[in-house]
Amino acid sequence: MTTGLAVAAFVVAVCAALVSTIGYARTRARLSVLERRLRALDGELHDDVRRALEQTRDEARAAGREARRAARAAGVPEDPPRVLFEPLTGRLVRVAAFGAGFRRAARRFTRDDGSRALTGRR
């Protein structure tokens, strides 16, 4: 009786292992197919969206050029710069930024102790 029970338990264990292995293999195969399909779909979608964005950008630029040409032909003056004195302020901003960066770098290189400089960022 004990030997029969052990054999039955062994057969049940082998069957369970076999069913689990087959289920795992099928699930893994299905997942790999789904992953391939997803990658292909993602690639197609990415390419389509990129092409559509590039086309939209090109069309927007062409429309802007045509609008400027039409405005010039109609005698409408050019729009003023977005920021008043933009050409001048651009140079001043660059000079101020360079000066601030230079001042911070000079402080770092000329301090005697090894501590960090007292700057706004940490």
DSSP-assigned states of every residue in 47-81: HHHHHHHHHHHHHHHHHHHHHHHHHHHHTPPPPPP
Looking at the fold, whether 92 and 56 belong to one and the same domain comes out as no
Residue 122 pLDDT: 47
Helix (H, G, I), strand (E, B) or coil at 80: coil
Residue 22 pLDDT: 96
Mean local confidence (pLDDT), 99-112: 73
Residue 38 pLDDT: 92
Looking at the fold, whether 29 and 67 belong to one and the same domain comes out as yes
Which residues, 6+ apart, have CB-to-CB distance to 110 below 8 Å? none
How many domains in the chain?
2
Residue 97 pLDDT: 74
Predicted structure pTM score: 0.39
Looking at the fold, whether 51 and 93 belong to one and the same domain comes out as no
Mean local confidence (pLDDT), 31-44: 92
Residue 118 lies in a domain: no
> In terms of pLDDT, which residue wins out, 44 or 110?
44
d(CA 97, CA 109): 18
Residue 52 lies in a domain: yes
Q: Do 107 and 117 meet the contact criterion of CB atoms below 8 Å apart? A: yes
Q: Which domain holds residue 20?
A: 2-79
Q: What is the pLDDT of residues 46-101, one digit of tens each?
A: 888 888 889 999 999 999 889 888 888 888 777 665 555 555 566 666 777 777 77
Q: What is the pLDDT of residues 19-30, one digit of tens each?
A: 999 999 999 999
> In terms of pLDDT, which residue wins out, 48 or 109?
48
Cα separations in angstroms, 27 against 24, 88, 121: 5, 66, 52
